[in-house]
Amino acid sequence: MQSSGHRFRDVEHHPLLADNDSYDSSSSSEADMAERVWFIRDGCGMVCAIMTWLLVVYADFVVTFVMLLPSKDFWYSVINGVLFNCLAVLALSSHLRTMLTDPGAVPKGNATKEYMDNLQLKPGEVIYKCPKCCSIKPERAHHCSICKRCIRKMDHHCPWVNNCVGEKNQRFFVLFTMYIALISAHALVLCGFQFFSCVRGQWTECSDFSPPVTVILMIFLCLEGFLFLTFTAVMFGTQIHSICNDETEIERLKSEKPTWERRLRWEGMKSVFGGQPSLLWINPFA
């Protein structure tokens, strides 16, 4: 299709949106809403996000009320309690930032003739339109069927954070996996010390709960900690590897040949985490 001296390539050969197309009005209202708040209304994702919070709260309950508060060692309880709860707050804050941050959505329904005329494209230059959300598709953007948007540098859609991991929220997702892995490892270590101390002493004295309840709570915490540690540690390593190679998970799985100039490993880290290395890199509030 020839238009204003440039070529417009559409996978499904949809026509350009006209000025009076009814799609524009609805998409503009959705775009305005997305600017105010970003939240994906996906049932499965919301259930997974709530489960994530409940599991972290459960781990905090067992660590605090079953293992630390009944301990006779005051400083052991204080140091581990403060450390675990700080990590839990950082993990949940990272989860919220990942879930409520626009991952890099392309404006919906912007593939209009007027918009493309304003791009001042060179003669013969090819641009692509997504036939699903009717938006001009930038390089390295992919359409998410759950978010119903094209996402810049989309890595994957994660139901546990009820959002896509993309250009603008990948840093928060990396922090989320890191802090969950840390609190999982910390919980497993505390469970090991608790079992050891209870076996050496009296079960009735090492916890305010009855021995059967204490054992059940700690066994479930160990299973949760092991599963979450394995999952998040692998995901954290995968994300760091992708950032250093300047390649998203989708691009890796599709074996896409890079048409862009790849960043060096250190440049890739700075582009995701922002600026020179500092404590701000691991601060989800920054």
Question: Is 150 among the catalytic positions?
Answer: no
pTM: 0.84
Share of the chain above pLDDT 70, in %: 87
Cα–Cα dist 110/128, whole Å: 12
Phi, psi (deg, nearest 5) at residue 195: -60, -40
Does 25 or 67 have the greater pLDDT score?
67
pLDDT for the residue numbered 202: 73
More confident residue, 259 or 278: 278
Residue 282 pLDDT class (50, 70, 90 cuts): very high
Packed helices 211-245 and 265-273: angle between N→C axes, nearest 10 degrees: 120
For 224, half-sphere exposure in the C-beta direction (CA atoms, 13 angstrom radius) is 24
The CA distance from 96 to 53, in Å, is 10
What pLDDT does 143 receive? Answer: 93
**Poorest-pLDDT segment among 4-13, 62-71, 261-270:** 4-13
Q: Are 137 and 111 in contact (CB under 8 A)?
A: no
**28: pLDDT strictly greater than 50:** no
Q: What is the pLDDT of residues 156-204, one digit of tens each?
A: 999 999 999 999 999 999 999 999 999 999 999 999 998 888 877 777 6
Using CA of residue 247, residue 248, residue 249, residue 251, what is the dihedral sign? negative
b/e code 229-258 from CB counts within 10 Å (16+ = b): beebbebbeebbebbbebbbebbeeeeeee
Task: Specify the residue for token string 């709960």.
Answer: 209
Output 251 or 48, whichever has higher pLDDT: 48
The pLDDT of residue 204: 67
Looking only at the bridges linking them, the beta strands covering 163-165 and 156-158 are: antiparallel
d(C-alpha 279, C-alpha 286), whole Å: 10
**Model confidence band, residue 21 (pLDDT cutoffs 50, 70, 90):** very low
Of residues 130, 147, 158, 191, which has the active-site annotation? 158
Beta bridge partners of 157: 164
Tokens of 45: 């994702």
pLDDT of residue 263: 76
Beta pairing partners, 9: 128
- Is a pLDDT exceeding 80 seen at residue 123? no
pLDDT tens digits along 57-86: 999 999 999 999 988 889 999 999 999 999
